[in-house]
Amino acid sequence: MEVIRGASPRPKGDPKYFGGCIPWIMISDVTREKGKYLSQTRDHVTEEGAKKSRFLKAGTLILSNSGTVCVPKVLAVDGCIHDGFVAFPEIPEQFDIFYLYYFFEHIRPRVIHVHRQGITQVNLNTNIVKNIELPAPPRHEQQDIVAEIERQFSRLDEAVASLKRTKGNLKRYKASVLKAAVEGKLTEDWRKQHPNVERAGKLLERILAERRAKYGRTKDGFLAAEGDAPAEPPDGWAICSIDQIAECLDSKRVPVNKAERTKRSGSVPYYGANGQVGVIDDYIFDEPLVLVVEDETFTGRTQAFSYMIRGKSWVNNHAHVLRATSAITNSYLNYGLAHYPFTPRTTGSTGRRKLTQRGLMTAPFLLPPLVEQEQIVTEVERRLSVIDELEATIEANLNRADRLRQSILSQAFAGNLVCVNANREGR
């Protein structure tokens, strides 16, 4: 079977070769589009560029040979491949193209393992591809195998789609639990049963007085809340600013780039906007803290804006660092900020926006009495523990589905899939 490699016009980006109307197929195109076919590309080449590349007609089977290796696609459009692909321009009559497609899907894990030529990069040259052993049953049997693979994959895809929908629903439910919690809806009955707790307003006055005495601040020494509160406070709650209930430790942050961290290998967690991003050999903080996203994607975000850390840690400049005062628990502060409507308080472009320190510290916050905070945290964690268990079960089933997909392919190319089903159905 003929195997050819793609080619790339040089220099890359030259308008003589690039920016035309002929699809220019990239590795990112084949990994982005799901399914057997490749129907669209982000980049294009000119006719001159096509002469310097490898032009293929629609219906050709291609295979990535570097980067994300051994990904097969059948072209749904004419296009050009660069040297990160090989192609099969003339498939012999005895082979079904989709049988070959699924064969490469099947051997991909083995190809990556056996032909790894470096720690981070795997490459398939044409000789390796030509020498891959290919089981060759009669063409009609290949077509039966393809039909059975697709029948089983279709059922599996339906199950996976259902699991992913449930996973998305759980994320939305988790956000709704936190929203209800910080609006006082989870503790409505509790408040009726405990009418004599210290009101949040008095708690806040006492804590602010203690902080003024400690730091020598004037009565107006803390930033006041700016803008509307996220909701109406229940009876006994107060509206305050984040600055009035938490200390900002941003001045202690020190960013360290990835290359430098590689030289400073250690065991101390290194945190950024969305969680731990590495380790380092020293620490800045050694206490429970709440970290809040500073610059990230805010619009349409479903991930929490905040998270808690404990023990020795290092934080970069992509996360604000908050230390809760005695007016609030770290857990409640974290839950209160996790899905806070921060987006209107951010600045910058539509994509990556920035929550300034002032934008965070002047955010209006609903403060419950301290004992009610503890009750809210208990109620939230009881519900979240159930959600976490369900999410873990879903994740395990999704991983199982991936293994089952590979198992179906293994049976198919061991000659067992069609025969097993024929016996089962009495054919």
Mean pLDDT of the 140-144 span: 96
Per residue in 275-317, pLDDT tens?
999 999 999 999 999 999 999 888 878 889 999 999 999 999 9
Q: How far apart are CA 413 and CA 382, in angstroms?
A: 48
Looking at residue 349, what is its pLDDT? Answer: 74
Q: pLDDT digit string (tens) for 12-50?
A: 889 999 999 999 999 999 999 999 999 999 999 999 999
Q: Compute the average pLDDT of residues 126-137.
A: 90
Which residue reads 């909701």 in tokens?
231
Q: Which residues pair with 313 in a beta bridge?
A: 285
Say what the pLDDT of residue 117 is: 54
Task: Answer yes or no: are the C-beta atoms of 233 and 239 closer than 8 Å.
Answer: yes
Residues 6+ apart with CB under 8 A from 44: 18, 19, 20, 21, 22, 23, 24
pLDDT band for position 221 (50/70/90)?
A: confident
Please give the Cα distance from 379 to 385 (Å, whole number): 10
Q: Please classify residue 13 by burial: count the beta carbons closer than 10 Å to its beta carbon, then call 0-12 exposed, 13-18 middle and 19+ buried.
A: exposed
Strands 37-38 and 61-64: unpaired
pLDDT greater than 80 at residue 427? no
Helix (H, G, I), strand (E, B) or coil at 419: helix
User: Looking at residue 419, what is its pLDDT?
Assistant: 63
Which one-letter amino acid corresponds to residue 258?
K
Determine the pLDDT at residue 118.
54
> To which residue do tokens 């279709």 refer?
154
Amino acid sitting at position 59: G
Predicted confidence at residue 282, as pLDDT, reads 97
| Cβ 77 vs Cβ 40: under 8 Å | yes
- Cα–Cα nearest to 82, from 131, 49, 119: 49
Helix (H, G, I), strand (E, B) or coil at 414: coil
Single-letter code of the amino acid located at 356: T
Q: What is the C-alpha to C-alpha distance for residues 98 and 96, in angstroms, rounded to an integer?
A: 6
- The label of the residue with tokens 């699924």 reads 102
Kindly report, residue by residue over 68-99, the tens digit of the pLDDT.
899 999 999 999 999 999 999 999 999 999 99
pLDDT at 166 over 80: yes
